[in-house]
Structure 1
Amino acid sequence: MNVEDINISYHQAKKAYSEIGVDTDEVLQKISELPISIHCWQSDDISGFENSALTSKTGGIQVTENYKGKARDIGEVRADLEKVLSLVPGKHRVNLHAIYGDFGKDLVDRNEIKIEHFQSWIDWAKKLQIGLDFNPTCFFHPLADSGFTLSNTDKEIRDFWIAHIKRCRKIAAEMGKQLGTPTILNIWIPDGAKDIPIDRNGHRDILRKSLDEIFKDEYPQEYLKDSLESKLFGIGAEAMTVGSSEFYLGYAIGNKKLLCIDNGHFHPTEQVGDKISSILQFLKEINVHLTRSIRWDSDHVTTFNEDIILIAQEIIRNGFLQRTHISLDYFDASINRIGAYVTGIRASQLAFLYAMLEPTEKLKTIEKEKKNFQRLAYLEILKSMPFGAVYDYFCLVKKVPVAKDYIADIEQYERQVISKR
């Protein structure tokens, strides 16, 4: 897009928003300070770099289709992530799963991983001046094939996963220490039953005790923040998920942990944004995973839709931004993976920008005065306000492609890099 046209459109938008009491310059400063944690696993369809002798591809997660040019090694994942970061405005983070360690040809099982396997990631992040987040990988492993990990009735299997997560927490704390920004360690397990179980309580009691054991090791909050992620159901766990929303909410409140809300992990008729102000009555912080669910699949590329907008609005309207950690969590192998990344990040940023451009205090006053028609009218007017022009200007000042220009940039990267893999 033409720079002069972008500037003209922005100043017209600035004037339009000033008429409803919104300073777009202040909003741009605010959105530039919003980091999004970008998930490494979109780059290679959750393959990771473990020795194949340790990997099982069953249980809980599926990546469909096989678009050309997925990343094949750590160097290609990092190159792809660097390309992504060059195409989105703002300063962001990278979110790693434990299977993305720098293992080389070594046979390193998950209960044996060490900081040395992730030091090159820390060095890379330090060079880019970004933070890292981390996740235990409790799937794609022979000891997860039964469908139960931390809630397994077999103590030997359960102890393996406890040891894995303990090592992950130690690694995450070291990441946070070296990078000078806390690492979010997010625990998600696939545990559940395909058909109707009898002893739901037994598995949940075991899970609670496993978590108690994991969290015996304490780390400074400035290095590590623990997060627990629920799910309504998963593939192979349609009848019951051990780590339900109620289970983890109770555990997080009782043990002062972060609760991870993945908007693809609830019933399609639930408004996930509506949950935020309830949860933050009782928790200090939350971790939010932005995705897009279609029927039973929770992991489509995030788009600028009503679900994401409501999440952003609830966070911004209530001043929760400093208490909320934003991450992406999806994997689409049917399209260009860099395009999937950039489209999802920009959509997420646009939702938060849209929320920041609301005249929040004016709307709250109207609501208190029970002027319901006026409230509805303003919400409708805001839908056609020129928020896109503000985002375009944000991209311009941050020196990344504006509007559709990023499409050509990704197509060129595909021709020059991805097509040769």
Structure 2
Amino acid sequence: MSTLINQNYQQAKELYASHGIDTEEVIKKLADVKISMHCWQGDDVRGFMNQDQELTGGISVTGNYPGAATTPEELRQDLEKAFSLIPGKHKLNLHAIYMDTEEKVDLHEIEPRHFEKWVSWAKEQGLGLDFNPTCFSHSKSADGFTLSHPNPDIRSFWIEHCKRARKVGEYFGKETGQTCITNVWIPDGFKDVPVDRLGPRKRLESALDEVFAEKIDERYNLDAVESKLFGIGSESYVVGSHEFYMGYGLTRNKMICLDAGHFHPTEVVSNKLSALSLFASGMLLHVSRPVRWDSDHVVTLDDELLEIARELITHDLLFKTAIGLDFFDASINRIAAWVIGTQNMQKALLRSMLEPADQLKQMELAGDYTSRLALREELKMYPFGAVWDYFCEQQGVPVRGQWLQEVKRYEESVLKQRAI
């Protein structure tokens, strides 16, 4: 432990202790929080099933930074580098199109064995795995509909895919010893105003019931459903709206996924967590940074991220909330994007853990709003960065900007060589 980092930490420790905050306990608590880092930042959501397939489903990735992974081996290599720069042990979130197999397999044919190499790697790295059926970038989703498709044959294709995805999730959970969360998101919707809003939702409800019909031990797999307000090609109507999935999740005992970019620009996820926590069996976060729309920018330590973390910590919601990331930026170094986004989620949690929530609640109950405001503003200047530096060094990862030097060296020796 470097002398300067330790000195700064000891000063911060005393300062937080004056408010009843034990920084040692906070650090232990933070180390236990697993962030599910998404694989698709590493290759711009192409996957390995059919890399020539156009990216569809209202998803767009911009930029052409050199070094995108083109094989499972390259992606795992990049992920290892990113995880080596992030404190703690976490999870990896995989989409079905990232299967690692020599077989020619369509989405409705996937089996656990097509992901055996990912499981072996995850075990070696000490990582958990989460999963997602891929209901986009496929010929059978070309018209913008999957589980709510009016054609029963196409609908059956996607139902079978999602059923098999749950079995892959179960396999992940059994093999890694960490519960897999399998999250269902579909792009279904209309570009222009539809006549029938109810019909597609009835079909989606029925299809989901069929997908989830088989009971899977929740020790191994938990199901989640994810809503969206709109996307490219579904600007006027999305079948799987927030209201639909909130109702479905509550009545079917499924986790409800809240993606920070999937709501109206004036809505925030942070304001939904406490309300939903009263009724939902569990919540899944897809932490992203929308800029005017669901543009999935790299997560920064902004006000909304801090508020999301504050809600989770103040109300003790970590036990029923899984935290995942969902952004993709091909205009910057992809490994740096992973590190920046994941570390910022951790930093937001740390800063919230260092707030004297009980003291602030007492001020609020007493009607002392002046003290509440004053203390919250003062806390913004407290040295949480000293605690973060200590945590990073304790976890054996580079402190502060040193991680970027590692990424730059990796870019020169590995990423740029791929582009030659």
Identify the TM-score tier after normalising by the shorter chain.
Answer: over 0.9
Residue 35 (1) aligns with residue 42 (2): no
1:353 and 1:298 mapped to 2: Cα distance?
26
How does 1:167-316 map onto structure 2 within 5 Å? 167-316=164-313
2:99 to 98, 101, 115: 101
Q: Is the 8 A contact 2:38 2:325 kept in 1?
A: yes
- What is the aligned partner in structure 2 of residue 23 from structure 1? 22
Partner of 2:362: 365
1:84 and 1:52 map into 2 onto residues whose CA distance is 23
Task: Report the counterpart of residue 48 of structure 1 in structure 2.
Answer: 47
Q: TM-score, normalised by structure 2?
A: 0.98
> In percent, how many aligned pairs have the same letter?
49
Alignment check: 8 A CA contact 1:181 1:223 kept: yes
Q: Give the alignment's Cα RMSD to 1 decimal.
A: 1.0
Q: State the 1:77 CA deviation.
A: 0.5
Does structure 1 residue 347 correspond to structure 2 residue 334? Answer: no
Distance (whole Å) between structure 1 residues aligned to residue 249 and residue 240 of structure 2: 12
User: Alignment partner of 1:299: what SS?
Assistant: coil
Q: Provide the rounded CA distance (Å) in 1 between the counterparts of 2:24 and 2:69.
A: 38
Is the Cα–Cα contact under 8 Å of residues 265 and 298 in structure 1 kept in the other structure? no
Q: For residues 295 and 170 of structure 2, what CA distance do their matches in structure 1 show?
A: 29
Name whichever of 18-27 and 223-232 sits farther off: 18-27
Q: Supply the AA of the counterpart residue of 1:145.
A: A
Contact 1:56 1:142 in 2 (8 A): no
Contact 1:169 1:224 in 2 (8 A): yes
Q: Which amino acid aligns with 2:139?
A: P
The answer for unaligned runs of 5 or more in structure 1 is none
Deviation at 1:51, TM superposition (A): 3.5
1:274-322 superposed Cα distances (whole Å, 9 cap, x missing partner) = 1001111101211111110001233100010111111111110011111
The C-alpha deviation readout for 1:166-191, integer Å capped at 9, x for no partner, is: 01001110110111111000000001
Q: CA deviation at 1:126?
A: 1.0
- The aligned residue for residue 318 of structure 1 is 315
The one-letter code of the counterpart of 1:160 is: F
Please show how residues 108-147 of structure 1 align to structure 2 within 5 Å.
108-147=105-144
2:8 is aligned to 9
- The counterpart of 2:78, out of the listed 80, 88, 113, is 80
* Distance (Å, rounded) in 1 between the aligned partners of 2:139 and 2:309: 39
SS in structure 2 at match of 1:95: strand
Matched, 1:68 2:66: yes
User: Is the Cα–Cα contact under 8 Å of residues 49 and 103 in structure 1 kept in the other structure?
Assistant: no
Paired residues for 1:353-392 under 5 Å: 353-392=350-389
- Give distance in 2, aligned partners of 1:68 and 1:313: 37
Distance 2:204 2:82 in 1: 37
CA distance in 2, matches of 1:386, 1:51: 48
Q: What is the TM-score normalised by the length of structure 1?
A: 0.98
SS in 2 for 1:134: strand
CA distance in 2, matches of 1:242, 1:176: 30
* Deviation, structure 1 residue 226: 0.1
Counterpart amino acid of residue 116 in structure 1 = R
Q: Does 1:332 align with 2:367?
A: no
Residue pair 2:95, 2:133 contacting (<8 A) in 1 also = yes
> What is the CA-CA distance between 1:56 and the residue it aligns to?
4.0
CA distance in 2, matches of 1:52, 1:379: 49
Write the deviation string for residues 14-42 of structure 1: whole angstroms up to 9, x where unpaired.
11111122111111011000000010000
- 8 Å CA contact 2:262–2:294 kept in 1: the answer is no
In 1, Cα distance between equivalents of 2:253 and 2:40 = 28
What do the CA deviations read for 1:108-148 (whole angstroms, capped 9, x no partner)? 11001111100111111111121100000000001111111
Closer, same or farther: CA 192–251 of 1 in aligned 2, 3 Å: same
* Separation of aligned partners in 2, 1:57 and 1:266: 22
Q: For the residues of structure 1 that align with 2:238 and 2:17, how far apart are their CA atoms?
A: 49
CA distance in 2, matches of 1:153, 1:382: 55
Q: Distance in 2 between matches of 1:201 and 1:101?
A: 35
Return the alpha-carbon distance in structure 2 between the equivalents of residues 58 and 129 of structure 1: 33
Cα-to-partner distance string for 1:320-352 (whole Å, 9 max, x where unaligned): 111110000000000000000000011100000
Do the aligned partners of 1:67 and 1:335 also contact (CA within 8 Å) in 2?
Answer: yes
Distance 1:78 1:45 in 2: 14
**Structure 2 counterpart of 1:38, which letter?**
M
Give me the whole-angstrom Cα distance separating, in 2, the residues matched to 1:124 and 1:97.
Answer: 16
